[in-house]
Structure 1
Amino acid sequence: MGIANWIWIWTAIMPFAVFLYYFFRKKYQNKNVSSVLFWQEMMKEIQASPYLKKLQHHLLFYLQMAALLLCVFGLIEPYWESETVQGNELIFIVDTSASMLAGSPSRFDQQKTAMAELVGQAGGKPVTVIKTGQTPEVAVREEREQKKLLASIENLEVNYEEAQMDQTILFAESLVKDESTVIHIFTDALAREALASKTEQSFVVHSSSEKLANASIRQFGLSQSEKGLRAIVQVVNESEEQMKGTVTLSAGGVSKEAELELQAGEERLVPFENLPAEDLWTAEIQVNDDYAADNRMLSFVQQESTGVVVDSSLHSLVSKGFESIGMEVAAADPSQFKDRTGSMLATNQTELLDLNSPILLIGRNDAEAIEVSGAIETTSHPLFTYADLENVYVSALYPGFDAYETIAEIDGKPFIQLSPKGDIAILSDIQSTNWPLDPSFPLFLWSAANELTGSEAFLGYFQPNEHRSVPLASDAGEWELFKGKEYVGSYLEGEGPFIAPAEPGVYEVDGDGRSMQMIVQLSSEEKTLASGASYAIGQASEEDETIHYPLIPWAIAIVLLLLLVEWEVYRRGIAIR
């Protein structure tokens, strides 16, 4: 404790003057007066308790002296002195990745407690809180009020996505005003090398040094075999001790188990044979570890391909378009296509439409094209969600197929059609259009590949909060997301990319009378736990290392209380005279 204003110590003479007044004041003698003899009966109780009378007589003096001394105490401005955190401004980077859920209490809760303690030591300094992720988010900006900061920290939640710490640190540095700002990083572990080049900035890393036990499912795959479905579950024990448990595979009402025993650091593939024909399967391990989020994984059975076989007679721009969207392209003669069953085929050979393979027909080899000059008109279909054909010019069209559905036309004539089994037909040669020069061409090929090789009942695999373009289109233009029966959110077509939910699991995507499933699950990076030591880098320039908490408010409160007590004592003294 310290004193900020010694000059007011002279006011201590006031309590001393009051003391002298009571010491030298005139003494009075008690005399009986006939007019007040009637009240003697009422005074007997007081006269029978002389100590109580003396206490009431002197209590007023004690209260006055206490109030005066507290006033003198307040005038000299006493305060408690406490150390404060370094830096004139603080920035908190909070790791909100899934791995922060490990431990009991979780690492995330421990870091929230550490942040709350630092806020208590900040002494009114501005604090900014940033959440990690693919897109770093500011939870609170330059807040000085302690209650708001503590409430904001308490409301922080894990978002399950990768921390992207390098990107988040760069974002935090963009908010730094001067060299007195200190960036506090709350995470499970961060190597010093990540901050080696940050020589002009001060950092304090709050890590978790406790090593936790963890076993996880790293991969889970399904494949068709002659005897039915076959599944392989990859389980890894990254702990320093042996682990025992079970691996459970379930779908609908079907469940299969396998005993599991892993040595420290061991990786094992657990196979399951002769599984029934179910679309959605869940693999889960039951082990005694400190991190449950990576003990479960889902897989959907679908025919998925990342490659396409292109007819060598087609224009080379078709192959270039598929390559630009990351697909593996193989060129082949049409005579070899019958041996490519199961692969996506791009050709102009109409006789190949009878194959079981998904086909993108570009042009026709069995008809003559006729000239057209109108604009392209499209219907509402997922193929055109991202491929706008407004600026595409087509000079000639082939005749359409009678049994096919037309989704784009020119001058009332079919331009793009869908076959009953799902094949896509573009009724024009690539060299008869300017389409390859328009950005919509690779986007259309990407949508076509998803339409042909994907599943109508499955939207795909996503990571938590992943932003992705998806081939969704409906008349209403809105899709709703559900987890079980719980409503999660909506996706409006044309309002930006589709954003996956944060929490892993299976979701239903409903819209326009259709329903699809999607799976959100952790990235591989979030299935590995890390631990490390806390450390500090850099030194913030700061003049004051302590903070003063004044005691004047407490002194004023006590003085007011004493005044109320003093008035009550005085009132009672008047009443009994």
Structure 2
Amino acid sequence: MNFITPIFFLLTVFLLAVILFYLFRKQYDRQVIPSTLLWQQVMQEWQATKWWKKLQNHLLLYLQLFILLLLIVALTRPFLGMNVLSGEHIVIVLDTSASMTVVEEADETTRFTIAKGEMEELIDQLDQQMLTVILAEEVPTILFSNETDPNVMKSKINEVTPSYQHGNVEKAIDLGIQILSGTSGEIHVYSDLVRKEQVNTNYLQNKLVVHSIGTSKENLSLHTFGVSQHTDGINGLLTVYNESEEEQLARITIECDGQVLTSFQELIGPGKLVQLPISDLPVKPYYKAVLNYEDNYVVDNTLFAFLGENTSPTIHVVGEINSFTARALNYFTTDLIQSDNLSNETDENVIYILEDAPDNEWPNGPALIFSPTDGESIHIKDKENLQDPVQIIEDTLFQYVDMEQVYIQSSKPYVMRELETILASGEMPLISKGYYKGNPIILVGFNISDTDWPLHSSFPIFLYNAINFLTEKQQFLGYVKPSEKLPVSHDSQATNGVIVNETDQEVMNVNLDESFIQAPRIPGLYKLIEETEGSKSERLFTVAIDTEEKYIHTGTSFIVEANEENAINSEEKPNEIWHWLVLVAFVVLLIEWEVYRRGITI
């Protein structure tokens, strides 16, 4: 035990003063008694007693001396060692990446849970210091700042869950350095892998402590998976990495909707990345590669692949269309089919091009329709010459397309409330787009022969943009990272949108007024479902972790002291116990008062 102000020990002289007061205080009251014969013997015995024995029967004295002694020692400010945390502000950086979900066998829990437990231990060591917690996600976020209530700190930390994103610890540390700029304190990092060379010490003004979490090294993971269609069928390629120090047997199945399409196994050497070819796969909307291997890290044991998400659609031209349009379409696909009538068979990757067709002859699929004729859902008037200049609504169909330079002589006025008009002349709609019976559709009210549009370079660009819009509905949304924002065009007639997981459990609702969706946090296969009156559309996408998160090896703990040029002195706080001494003195005072009230002696 040490003392901050030992000079107050000089006050112990007051202990002697209290004793002297007791020795010389008035001890008798004058009373009239009938005889002093019996008192003389008692007085003689008491006068013969040593002075220190005269104090033995004074319990109140002892209690008062003890109280005074406690207060004197409290004034000296005794302390037991120094506080582990120095400075007035502590910053914690917590890694929330996917690799923090590895289960450590020794603790039978995840690295993330272990890190949160160590953070709570640090909170218990705070000495009225402020605490800020930064979550090391792909874009670091502040969980809370300048908090002083330990209960609030622990409550908010317990609510944190893994983000499964790649943990950008370097940026999180830089953010912590900015928060502590000009302030004394420390930065504590809880992560499974931080290297000393990753820390930028040029602007480090405070002590940096890295707590390495986890020790597991045994892992077998799927790194990449893709499929493609060739003349000999559908083939795939899968890469498997063995991070273990021993040879491992990888048992792999390729599935779709719970059905096993093929299975195989391969021995993978230690530290080896092996490519495994897959052949003769049937046509499926998606393919799921599953690594049947029991390890402590499960999120890297599954991968998804989509067939033909980048393949060009088949363009089906129905009937006669303008020759300039047909010639331009040849630039966008090698699979152009022209027929007089619609086929009864449906294709999932086809776009229909029609001209002068009523709505009862429109196909059940994405369509670009020029100069439509009167029908049940659309009302067409006779062709009229344009009187007013064109009005252009900003839209992706007109990206790099300047319609003001295009001459349009005449068009057919039409009314179709299901569609959104994006080009008009006065009150006359010229081009509209939207969804009809659950399918994307583009309606062009004029005939191309009544314009000079084919003479402009913007005409093939418009067709390209139109094909992209028409295929977006049926294309897979692709691969996204956890919680990533994904641009999406919603059906204008959709009344409800949800995202469901592989087992069709609803994960979240979709705001149809926004031009994007936020991907779920947990890796896996998901569907974006949009409902309209009488129809429903589905688009698949998969949430996958970053390749960096497929390695589970850990680093070591280390401490980096502040740069001497920028260092801010952070005096260590002693663990003072004076307040406990004052508390004990108060309790003894209560006891002393009770002894006095009852007149207890010993």
Q: Fold-level match, TM-score > 0.5?
A: yes
1:264 Cα offset (Å):
0.6
Structure 1 residues 311-330: aligned runs within 5 Å: none
- Shifted more, 526-535 versus 19-28: the winner is 19-28
- Which of 578, 584, 589 pairs up with 1:558? 584
Change beyond 3 A, Cα 1:139–1:312 = farther
How far apart are the structure 2 equivalents of 1:504 and 1:189?
21
How far apart are the structure 1 equivalents of 2:465 and 2:335?
24
Match of 1:498 in 2: 517
How far apart are the structure 2 equivalents of 1:107 and 1:335?
52
Deviation per residue, 1:216-248 (Å, 9 max, x gap): 112233456899866554322122222235323
Change beyond 3 A, Cα 1:436–1:492 = farther
Match of 1:545 in 2: 571
**Does 2:163 align with 1:159?**
yes
Contact 1:462 1:519 in 2 (8 A): yes
Contact 2:138 2:167 in 1 (8 A): yes
Match of 1:480 in 2: 498
Contact 1:107 1:208 in 2 (8 A): yes
How far apart are the structure 2 equivalents of 1:8 and 1:449?
85
How far apart are the structure 1 equivalents of 2:258 and 2:135?
40
1:126 Cα offset (Å):
3.2
- Which of 291, 304, 312 pairs up with 1:298? 304
Alignment length (residue pairs): 524
Match of 1:520 in 2: 543
Q: What one-letter code is carried by the residue in structure 1 that aligns with 2:291?
A: I
Q: What one-letter code is carried by the residue in structure 1 that aligns with 2:163?
A: N
- Which of 443, 447, 455 pairs up with 2:474? 455
1:133 Cα offset (Å):
2.7
Match of 1:249 in 2: 254
How far apart are the structure 2 equivalents of 1:168 and 1:120?
23
How far apart are the structure 1 equivalents of 2:334 and 2:287?
39
1:490 Cα offset (Å):
3.0
1:346 Cα offset (Å):
11
Contact 2:407 2:452 in 1 (8 A): no
1:161 Cα offset (Å):
1.2
Q: What one-letter code is carried by the residue in structure 2 that aligns with 1:502?
A: R
What is the SS of the residue equivalent to 1:159?
coil
Contact 1:243 1:261 in 2 (8 A): yes
Change beyond 3 A, Cα 1:337–1:114 = same
What is the SS of the residue equivalent to 1:258?
strand
**Does 2:219 align with 1:214?**
yes
Alignment RMSD, CA only? 5.3
How far apart are the structure 1 equivalents of 2:550 and 2:216?
15
What is the SS of the residue equivalent to 1:287?
coil
Match of 1:507 in 2: 526
Contact 2:213 2:554 in 1 (8 A): yes
What is the SS of the residue equivalent to 1:92?
strand
TM-score by length of 2: 0.68
Contact 1:220 1:233 in 2 (8 A): yes
Q: What one-letter code is carried by the residue in structure 1 that aligns with 2:93?
A: I
Change beyond 3 A, Cα 1:195–1:495 = same
How far apart are the structure 1 equivalents of 2:466 and 2:171?
31
How far apart are the structure 1 equivalents of 2:58 and 2:287?
86
Contact 1:213 1:291 in 2 (8 A): no
How far apart are the structure 2 equivalents of 1:541 and 1:87?
12
Change beyond 3 A, Cα 1:314–1:179 = farther
How far apart are the structure 2 equivalents of 1:446 and 1:110?
51
- Whose helix proportion is higher, 1 or 2? 1
How far apart are the structure 1 equivalents of 2:78 and 2:366?
86
Change beyond 3 A, Cα 1:476–1:251 = closer
Q: What one-letter code is carried by the residue in structure 2 that aligns with 1:519?
A: T
Contact 1:422 1:452 in 2 (8 A): no
Change beyond 3 A, Cα 1:493–1:424 = closer
Change beyond 3 A, Cα 1:552–1:193 = closer
- Which of 265, 272, 288 pairs up with 1:282? 288
Change beyond 3 A, Cα 1:14–1:166 = closer
- Which of 113, 131, 137 pairs up with 1:133? 137
Match of 1:235 in 2: 240
> Equivalent pairs: percent with the same residue?
24
Q: What one-letter code is carried by the residue in structure 2 that aligns with 1:128?
A: T
How far apart are the structure 2 equivalents of 1:524 and 1:369?
58
How far apart are the structure 1 equivalents of 2:466 and 2:194?
40
Contact 2:136 2:168 in 1 (8 A): yes
- Shifted more, 560-569 versus 369-378: the winner is 369-378
1:419 Cα offset (Å):
9.0
**Does 2:288 align with 1:262?**
no
Change beyond 3 A, Cα 1:206–1:406 = same
Deviation per residue, 1:348-403 (Å, 9 max, x gap): 9999xx9x9x9885978xxx99643476699xxxx9699899x9757526669999
